[in-house]
Structure 1
């Protein structure tokens, strides 16, 4: 079946049903060591995961690791430019759940990004990036512990689809000419806009299907959280890009108020209901005035529209959401992208799950990671309906490779996400507790040690893994 891979002699395949994994007690899990510092951080991670599983389940469960190749290590095995061999793709397709270290982005033509390629090949449409603070971790913020968010980033659309043409490309020039001479002038709202003839251009597709399946994952996650954390915020730039990012917001609300009608309430709906709860006799007009600043300056037609919206909410969901019942629902709201970058710093405890498109999610997840200690402490997962890959979120840092000094926290915490995804929460909790205890006792790698006050003597990468295991109780 495989050209250069050796499948474990023991273990059972993971399968998926209805988008959920069915995990045996002895799963075979493919792993990609990763390039650069992957040579250090993967062995440390494997040691910690194995120790946690052994401790939590006393030998009743065990991961059978299956080494596969990607990046520079794949080229060593399969030949020049074989960054993503078919063997590896077959293994991930067959065994469904995989974990990987950081990968080199190939230089030159061909694959633009191995990470993006894996997401697109396996339709891993939900990039999940939690940002949680572990006490003792150096941070540039005064109160990093207030941030505890999970970012759901749409993984397969937006500009990351990679449909673009460079300046002077004949096809790009042809498309610019068509847009300038026929398509743009035919749309009244575009006025006399024109695309410069010397421009590179790209396509930004945002689909209803892609948007709603991403928001669905986010809401499903919210339903598993404690009541006080059951909130989903749709992040977008819909005030400018109305038919792409604005549509993402609208489709997210549509999903929440149809498929999850019993479990969700929108922010505006909560205002309307709470106004009626405070004053049972409030008129539609008075309620509309409270939820819409500047109501009295609006046209009669717009005022009527807002009153109709109020009436519709009261008629449709008062029985199921009124009298305080809305407070037990998942709150769905939305925020403009540039505003949320500010608010995760100034009002971080107001947010729980952020659902966003590809580019905004890329920026936002790294910004959130910086607050809680950087990418070295930031895990990630790419999840679809039939496969999931868990990954380190940082680069390969080749100058540190083989020195046994880099922080393995990102791939290790990605392992925690993997264990939770598999339903092995007990082992996941052990790792989180061990990691938290090691950091609290200043037993950390150099990247954290040098920022602590006072500075502490750093542990090697392997020693950090040993310290985490020593705290397992």
Structure 2
């Protein structure tokens, strides 16, 4: 193990053959403190989670927290150009469940977004967002107590694939020439100043996201699953 990482007393969470989780009484949970407000919010998050576990299990179970590094803190630990160490990725794979604080976007070349890099390296294709109302919170909605939904968004394809070129860059000019001269595209209004992105959407990526949403609905007694798209405009990539 890396000299900068201290493994606490505890056990790994493992995955069963049916893909359910085998969670020991003292699971080791890796965490990334994060950049910016991460310094402030991550220690508080740990205290809150520890208190919740204590209340739920009365001391019979307890999380063993293990800090790993990414973002600005990784550059201080491993060197100025190491934003996402390989050891961090390996630990995230090995320990199954982890949590991270907010990560900055490095300035300059290399990794453009650490969040996107993590999603792609670990194939974290589901962005799951529960949306519900908490009693007593002011809301502009007429009947906020009826707000209760869970949003599943594809996290690795579409524009989140991050395949793009800046306006006026050599890459953008090359793609624009191909689109205009080879493919006969005439709908790019300001090609000289346009950034260009590619939006890959696969059948496999779509199907696995929908399957995950449907399974979640079944497991959590949800009444329906609604597919939201803009297929009237983007006919082949929605």
* TM-score of the superposed pair, with normalisation by structure 1: 0.47
Aligned to 2:207: 212
> What is the CA RMSD across the aligned residues, in angstroms?
2.0
- Which has the greater radius of gyration? 1
Aligned to 2:231: 238
Shift of 1:221: 0.8
**Alpha-carbon separation, structure 1, partners of 2:37 and 2:178:** 48
**Alpha-carbon separation, structure 1, partners of 2:170 and 2:51:** 57
Structure 2 segments unaligned to the other structure (5+ residues):
none
Q: 1:65 to 1:174 in 2, by over 3 A?
A: same
Q: 1:104 to 1:177 in 2, by over 3 A?
A: closer
Secondary structure of the residue that 1:128 maps to in structure 2? strand
**Alpha-carbon separation, structure 2, partners of 1:168 and 1:61:** 56
Q: Tell me which protein shows more helix as a share of its residues.
A: 1
Shift of 1:75: 2.1
Shift of 1:197: 4.1
Moved over 6 A (4+): none
Are the counterparts in 2 of residues 31 and 68 from structure 1 also a CA contact under 8 Å? yes
Shift of 1:50: 1.5
Are the counterparts in 2 of residues 4 and 87 from structure 1 also a CA contact under 8 Å? no
| Structure of greater relative contact order (alpha carbons < 8 Å, 6+ residues apart) | 1
Shift of 1:18: 4.3
* Correspondence 1:91 to 2:91: yes
Shift of 1:242: 0.6
Shift of 1:89: 1.4
Aligned to 2:196: 201
**Alpha-carbon separation, structure 2, partners of 1:132 and 1:96:** 27
- Structure 1 segment 128-277 matched on structure 2, within 5 A: 128-184=128-184, 193-195=186-188, 197-198=191-192, 199-226=194-221, 229-245=222-238
Shift of 1:142: 3.9
Shift of 1:244: 0.9
Shift of 1:12: 1.2
Aligned to 1:12: 11
Shift of 1:34: 1.9
* TM-score of the superposed pair, with normalisation by structure 2: 0.89
Aligned to 1:52: 52
**Alpha-carbon separation, structure 1, partners of 2:78 and 2:25:** 32
Secondary structure of the residue that 2:200 maps to in structure 1? coil
Aligned to 1:468: none
Are the counterparts in 1 of residues 28 and 65 from structure 2 also a CA contact under 8 Å? yes
1:197-236 Cα shifts (integer Å, max 9, x gaps) = 413321111111111111111001111233xx32111111
**Alpha-carbon separation, structure 2, partners of 1:109 and 1:143:** 48
**Alpha-carbon separation, structure 2, partners of 1:77 and 1:70:** 9
**Alpha-carbon separation, structure 1, partners of 2:171 and 2:103:** 32
